Amino acid sequence: MDLDPETDLILTRTVKAPRALLYECWTTPRHMKEFFVPRPHKVTACDLDVRAGGHCNTTFEVDGTLIENKGVYLEVIPDEKLVFTDTYTAGWKPAPDPFMTAIILFEDAGEGQTRYTAIARHRTPETRAQHEAMGFHEGWGTVVSQLEDYAQRLLAR
């Protein structure tokens, strides 16, 4: 993948869970609610149609404020890759103020682990800088840790 340091942010970690389970967590609303935003914030609603062109809609509660995040999936490869964006909403309707496209990669790292990569692509260097200043690495890093903890609890059942 051709990354552009001017417009892309990237986070890569090895997660102690198989990629099929991580993919399932990313594509199942009840699971997404458990990890998708850094605590104490939370996902209050999640509606997913996991296919290219399908909707990817979530609502977050951040400090008592509800934030709707509507988008579409651009690419879906089960257990390997999810690409979604807020540039469009369902029916390929352009969003009024798009922010980014996310690419989530799941690669087998052996011994039941996954090399997990999250890429946030932005339209401009300024938008990328804004996202980095908002705490991309800390926030998305927390999300990965919450995902790993949640996946471990699912494996223990």
Question: Residue 53's pLDDT is what?
Answer: 95
CA neighbor of 15 nearest in space, from 89, 118, 121, 84: 118
Phi, psi of 29 (to 5 degrees): -50, -45
- In this prediction, the residues of the chain whose per-residue pLDDT falls under 70 are none
What residues contact 52, with CB distance under 8 A and at least 6 apart? 73, 74, 75, 76
Question: Residue 90's pLDDT is what?
Answer: 84
Contact between 81 and 104 under an 8 Å Cβ cutoff? The reply is yes
Q: Which pTM does this prediction carry?
A: 0.95
Question: Residue 1's pLDDT is what?
Answer: 77
What domains does the chain contain, in order, with CATH numbers? 9-156 (3.30.530.20)
